[in-house]
Amino acid sequence: MKKAGMKKIRQKSSGAVAAKPKKEQASWGGRFSFPPSELMLKFGESVSFDSAIAKFDIAGSKAHAQMLAKCGIITKEEAGKISKGLDAILKRIQDGEFKWKTELEDVHMNIEQALTEIVPEAAKLHTARSRNDQVATDMRLFFKSACSDVISAIKKLMRALVDLADSNKGVYIPGYTHMQRAQPVSAAHHMLAWVEMLARDAERFEFVRDGANVCPLGSGAIAGTTLPIDRFETARLLGFVDEASSDPIVTGNSMDAVADRDTFMEFCFACSVLGIHLSRMCEDVIIWNTSEFAFVRLPDAFTTGSSLMPQKKNPDSFELMRGKSARLIGNLNTILALCKGLPLTYNRDLQEDKPAAFDSFGQVCICLEVFAQCACDMSFNRAKCAEAVADPLLLATDLADYFVMRGVPFREAHHMVGRLVALSEKKSTPINKLEDDDVFQVCPKAGKDWRDVFSLDRAFAMREKVGMPGPRQTKSQIRLWRDLLDS
Ligand code: ARG
Q: Whose CA is nearest to atom 12 of ligand 1?
A: 351
Average the pLDDT over 213-218 and give the result.
98
Catalytic residue numbers, as ranges: 178, 306
pLDDT over 70, % of the chain: 94
What pLDDT shows up at residue 25? 58
Angle of helix 131-167 relative to helix 471-486, nearest 10 degrees, comes to 140
- Strand-strand pairing, 379-380 and 180-186: unpaired
CA distance 13 to 33: 19
**How far is Cα 189 from Cα 196, in angstroms, rounded to an integer?**
10
Is the CB of residue 229 less than 8 Å from the CB of residue 190? no
Distance from C-alpha of 185 to C-alpha of 189, rounded to nearest angstrom: 6
> By the 8 A CB rule, do 300 and 377 touch?
no
Q: Please list, in sequence order, all residues whose beta carbon lies within 8 angstroms of the beta carbon of residue 308, skipping any fewer than 6 positions away.
A: none
Q: Maximum CA pair distance of the chain? A: 101
- CB-ligand 1 contact for 338 (6 Å cutoff): no
Q: Which residues pair with 241 in a beta bridge?
A: 248
Atom 3 in ligand 1: residue holding the nearest Cα: 351
Residue 133 φ then ψ, to 5°: -80, -25
Closest by CA to 116, choosing from 72, 81, 80, is 81
351: Cβ contacts below 8 Å, ≥ 6 apart: 44, 46, 106
- pLDDT given for residue 44 in this prediction: 96
Mutate to test the pocket of ligand 1, among 25, 53, 348, 352 (most ligand atoms within 8 A of CB): 348
The model carries a pTM of: 0.93
Q: What is the structure's pLDDT at 26? A: 59
Closest by Cα among 362, 367, 291 to 322? 367
Q: Which of 270, 294, 465 is nearest to 388 (CA)?
A: 294
Residue 200: pLDDT above 60?
Answer: yes
165 and 192 Cβ atoms separated by less than 8 Å: yes
Between CA 100 and CA 51 the distance in angstroms is 8
Contact 229, 68 (CB under 8 A): yes
Kindly tell me if the per-residue pLDDT of 14 is higher than 90: no
Please determine, for residue 4, whether its predicted confidence score (pLDDT) is greater than 80. Answer: no
377 CB burial (10 A radius; 0-12, 13-18, 19+): middle
Closest by Cα among 124, 97, 103 to 37: 103
Instruction: Read off the pLDDT of each residue in 350-367 and give the average, rounded to a whole number.
Output: 98
Mind listing the pLDDT tens digit for each residue in 230-283?
999 999 999 999 999 999 999 999 999 999 999 999 999 999 999 999 999 999
Task: Kindly state if the Cβ of 46 falls inside 6 Å of ligand 1.
Answer: yes
Q: Is the minimum distance from the CB of 351 to ligand 1 under 6 angstroms?
A: yes
Beta pairing class for 180-186 and 296-297: unpaired
Q: How confident is the model at residue 21 (pLDDT cuts 50, 70, 90)?
A: very low
At residue 407, the pLDDT reads: 97
125-161 b/e (C-beta count within 10 Å ≥ 16 → b): bbebbbbbbbbbbbbbbbbbbbbeebbebbbbbbbbb
**Ligand 1 site, residue 110, Cβ cutoff 6 A:** no
Q: How far is the CA of 263 from the centre of ligand 1 (A)?
A: 17
**For residue 20, pLDDT beyond 50:** no
346 lines ligand 1 (CB under 6 A): yes
pLDDT tens digits, one per residue of 30-74: 788 888 899 999 999 999 999 999 999 999 999 999 999 999 999
Q: 389-439, pLDDT tens digit by residue?
A: 999 999 999 999 999 999 999 999 999 999 999 999 999 999 999 999 999
